Structure 1
Amino acid sequence: MIEKILLAVSGLGHAEEMLKTLKEVPSIQHVKVTVLHVVPPQSTSAAMTDKWEEGGKILANAIQSLNLDPSQVSSILRQGDPKDVVCQVADDMDADLIIMGSRGLKRLQSILANSVSQYVFQLSSRPMLLVKDDIYVKKIKRVMVAMDNSDAAKHCLSLALFLLRDIAGGQLILINVTTDLRGKTSEVSEITPDKNSVMATAVAEAQKYDVQTRCFSSIGKPGEEICRLAEELSIDLLLLGSPDRRPSVAKSFVDIDRLVGASLSDYVRVNATCPVLLARTVA
């Protein structure tokens, strides 16, 4: 269920376009949207004043371009470290989804370039929709979920069905990849799921909402296979579960494997040719 969306804008990228596309989805049309722009600290008061004025214009332009019902949208202009402020505002408003632009930086580049979207994903347990600067945002019809037995994948399935259930002609694509890290790949095969399998359970859940479903399987490196199928099937939105592997005492610290690019979610975030919604289960 998505009722409150936090849209973080920087004046660049496709985040606003993604929200406009989402607002065409029937189940999203009545959500409350908070548009946030964060002004980083500046070295002089004059520079701070200039940045503050620029931030106000960025917010105004974003809200104007979104063309939302005024009763459904609010704006926040705040000073601070963007990655910290986005997380704090998301918690304060209890956001169901964070939408941000992403430059799609790889591995250590995210650290060196102080990637806001990467750090927010690290530190927030909320679903996060990343929209790379170099992709084309399309009307949502085909939604893909990388399916396994994890709670995070099941959470993604629920989000996908929430989005698709009232879309005429909408289609849910389920993929399961058998891992082979040697780099060998198989042809992507459309399958009929085995009875009582994770995929069969997902199909049964989709049938409750009359959502058309197709299932695929392949063998290879999961990130590469997921991105390959997303491109081959012209997927409009990809949902990927990202289980939080950190112990509870370390929830406020980044997951180094993800930060340096060793995780599935990081690979897909960087390489997918469509918007990617990354979701964790919320404790």
Structure 2
Amino acid sequence: MIEKILLAVSGLGHAEEMLKRLSEMPSIQSATVTVLHVVPPQSTAASMTAKWEEGGKILANAIQSLNLDPAKVSSILRQGDPKDVVCQVANEIDTDLIIMGSRGLKRLQSILSNSVSQYVFQLSSRPMLLVKDDIYVKKINRVMVAIDNSDASQNCLKLALFLLRGVGGGQLILANISTDLGGKLSGITEIKPERNTVLGQAVVEAEKQGIPVRCVTSCGKPGEEICRLAEELNVDLLLIGSPDRRPSIAKSFVDLDRLVGASLSDYVRVNATCPVLLARTVG
């Protein structure tokens, strides 16, 4: 399911470390990796030459640090607007996963600071793994999926099951949040779902593949609760669906609701204390 990975590097952040952790997982070891660095346009030829040379060094250092099979790694150095070029290259190589660093900017900050990761998240339909600068990237054993009955959530489940294949000591955590705020906020409750429910079907699928699974639930605001559960359960990777609600005519335009922080996926992207893989079902 993940055969081609695009790693966008800028010389800062934890994106390379995230890929190294992913590459330890049996399901990812056959994947090919394209490492991309984008050089923004410069005002003078001398500045452009300097940035181009710097970009070449950033690529070389990134590839060296990854320590992957050279036959499975390629590099691209390209000039342009980073947020546009990342999307273009993702389409050119038909990547299955984009990995990028993120500063975790909130709301309008993403617009004002021209956040590359935020715009790529908006304009690409491909799964995207965001790694904030202020988090610690760990070995991936505990993978949590925020589960509901949406297609995007089911896509996350499939990705999680794929990633956990063959991982010794791996565990899938299925989290479902009740938005009934009539009562007080709950703690973390372990549940055994009925087989005919969305959670129950997810458990059956995990057990078929021999992946240990646990189900938890809590009550409160979904974004806050998902982030809290991920932190308290010491999750190594969080998967959350991000359905694209825009009409087809507007697919090339940024979803302003998400840019101002109104969406669940945007809240989790900004506030989670672990890497976040956002998967979208376009339709």
- Same fold (TM > 0.5): yes
- Tell me the CA shift for residue 195 of structure 1: 2.9
Tell me, which stretches of 5 or more residues in structure 1 are unaligned? none
Would you say 1:137 and 2:119 are equivalent positions? no
Give percent identity, aligned residues only: 80
Other structure's SS at 1:214 match: strand
TM-score (norm 1): 0.98
TM-score (norm 2): 0.98
- Tell me the CA shift for residue 183 of structure 1: 10
In 1, distance between residues paired with 2:158 and 2:254? Answer: 26
- Tell me the CA shift for residue 146 of structure 1: 0.2
In 2, distance between residues paired with 1:243 and 1:183? Answer: 29
Partner residue in 1 for 2:249: 249
Partner residue in 2 for 1:208: 208
Check whether the contact 1:185–1:221 (CA below 8 A) recurs between aligned residues.
Answer: no
Would you say 1:148 and 2:118 are equivalent positions? no
Check whether the contact 1:240–1:265 (CA below 8 A) recurs between aligned residues.
Answer: yes
Aligned length: 283
1:66-121 deviation line (CA, Å, top 9, x unaligned): 01111000000000000000000000000000000000000000111100000000
- Tell me the CA shift for residue 194 of structure 1: 2.2
- Given residue 217 of structure 1, which amino acid in structure 2 is its aligned partner? T
Q: 1:59 to 1:255 in 2, by over 3 A?
A: same
Would you say 1:28 and 2:24 are equivalent positions? no
In 2, distance between residues paired with 1:197 and 1:206? Answer: 14
Q: 1:184 to 1:50 in 2, by over 3 A?
A: farther
- Tell me the CA shift for residue 219 of structure 1: 1.0
1:133-192 deviation line (CA, Å, top 9, x unaligned): 000000000000000000000000000000102101100000111124689521221101
- Given residue 148 of structure 2, which amino acid in structure 1 is its aligned partner? D
RMSD: 1.1
Q: Structure 1 stretches (4+) deviating beyond 6 angstroms?
A: none
Tell me, which stretches of 5 or more residues in structure 2 are unaligned? none
Partner residue in 1 for 2:5: 5
- Given residue 25 of structure 1, which amino acid in structure 2 is its aligned partner? M
Q: 1:206 to 1:43 in 2, by over 3 A?
A: same
Partner residue in 1 for 2:66: 66
Other structure's SS at 1:36 match: strand
Partner residue in 2 for 1:57: 57
1:39-58 alignment, distance < 5 Å: 39-58=39-58
In 2, distance between residues paired with 1:100 and 1:251? Answer: 21
